[in-house]
Structure 1
Amino acid sequence: MIARVKGVMTTKDEEKGMRDMRKKNESEHKHLNTPLPNIEMMEGMKAGRRMRPKGVSAEVMDMTGNKENGKAGKGSSEPFPNVEGTLAELSEREITEILQARQQYERILEMARKYEEMLKTAEQKKKEIKPHVFKEIKEKYGMDEKEIRQAFKERERKKEILDIIINAIEKGGSKACEDKQFREYMDAWKRIRTIEKMTEEDVRKIAVFMDEARKYLEEKTAAKGKKEIHHTGRMNKETIEILKQIKENGGTIAWKELLKYGREELRLDTDTFNKRRWTLLSKGYIERDGTEVKLTPKGYARLEEEGY
């Protein structure tokens, strides 16, 4: 009886041992059931290095790499290592540039809100004063808004119109006046001469409502300053940008705003900016007017020479 029991126990022990051995073998050879990698995967391997196959993103490779190394992957509380763009990988210069860009963005937004309010007020004011301005111009020069606008456009063809008139007179003499087209060119010439004889103050009033008048005023101011320019060589980039900034603000800008522009947009330190400012002041390209800086006729002329 005892022998029989022992035999049964031995048989059970042997069966258990065989089951354990079978599980161990299955575990050790489990990789044999894994499908072989495709050709693209094989091409992605070079000199024993783990390469990223075509069509597989870097993030997926990071995840698989973490899994192979026993590290956390997607869904784990541990962060991925080696993720591009982390703070640790940013240099001090890059961090400074990011912060400066943010400051500039916020400053531009604030300026945009400020100018939007100013424009709303200005547009309302323009509507109110427009009838009075053009009534005054009509009384002084005999031209209404439509004729003035037409005159500024015709002025762009000033040389062409004058040549046609001269040629017609040379060919037909006094009989040229009988030609309808000739009379139209003569009327255009009179309109051109009328706006060219307007006072600068009156042109400024019109420029509030017409871009053509503003452009004409800038050209006239630049022409006046050309005679006063004495220089050698070209201006440096920062100095030109300072002049351009003043011009783009209508020829006048608050001193604090210009200083802020130099620091944040041109990234000039205070000492360098003051040197640029002194150069512009000493050469007569800008002038101080209380808390504001103005672009002089000489400044307009110099910008024109520089191609702006």
Structure 2
Amino acid sequence: MWQCSDKVQDHFLNPRNVGALEQPDAEGQAGTIAYGDALKIAIKVNRDSGVITDARFKSFGCGVSIAAASALTEIIIGRTIDEASAVSDAEIVDYLGGLPEDKMYCAVLGHEALQTAIAHYRGENDAADSSERICKCFPARKAFLERIIRTNKLTSPGQVTNYTKVSGGCQSCKRPIEELLAAVNADMVEEGVLDAAKAYHAPVKATPFMPAKFQMNGNGAPPRPNGVTEANGKSIGPGVPRPNAAPSVGGEAQPTPQGLAAFAKLKPEERIEVVSKAIDELRPYLKADGGDCELVEVKENTAFVKLSGACMGCQMASVTLSGVQQRLIEKTGMPLRVVPVQ
């Protein structure tokens, strides 16, 4: 468990500059109460020198959010507007002595509220981000996410969620986030600001009943359809050997004559047992990603399954089905189809 620094505790228990600022020169807000965290910052500026002489905040959020907002006001008081506009998420984190990755959004929230206040002071409100909104559950737009990815050199969807909360709800934006992250990382590699070995590569879209051709991720890890790991045709899941693995062509399992003959001789209840066991071996890895897959029925060479949780209704559902289908082919040697049912 993370042990917060003395500065985080101090700024949470004794927050500086809390409350309203009388006749502020500018105000900025980030987040909304509806999404769990909201922050409002007000600043007073010396018109002659451009120095921020006072700053106050109001916060609705966790203790770390309060500490980050308090720290931010301390950082910017005494700086000019131009100097304050250069304050980064990382500077807030450093001032507090560090934050765990799943609390980084607290610093990001402070940064966004400050930038909005500075834009207000400069009369740039009309230049607000009008780019495409990607996440349905959290108010994050494409340009904002690109900035967060770039400035913090993020290389995984989980990091993007920790810094912004996007894809932390219904996960319907999971695929767009992956594609945006991959595109921004590719640009960063081309610009020489990110090591190609660390760049994220979004999985290629798959269609039901057709095994997915996944790209390797930036760290050289094997394909991962919804948490199911396949490494060089030898394992499915961390350290779990593939029993009765069939010969592979192009990395995909292929039916074998022996498996075809053996499966054809099985009674209906025996087929159900074989298929059910193969699916049960996958379920822990699907559950680790917040989803699940249960066998409903087996008819000849078709397995009917029910997806639930994160596996249901998202753009990665077809990837899950493909991973399950491949596992069944490897287990039985039979060209089984996997069909989702409600």
Q: Under a length normalisation based on structure 2, what TM-score does the superposition of the two structures give?
A: 0.22
Larger radius of gyration: 1
**The structure with more strand, counted as a fraction of residues:** 2
Q: Under a length normalisation based on structure 1, what TM-score does the superposition of the two structures give?
A: 0.23
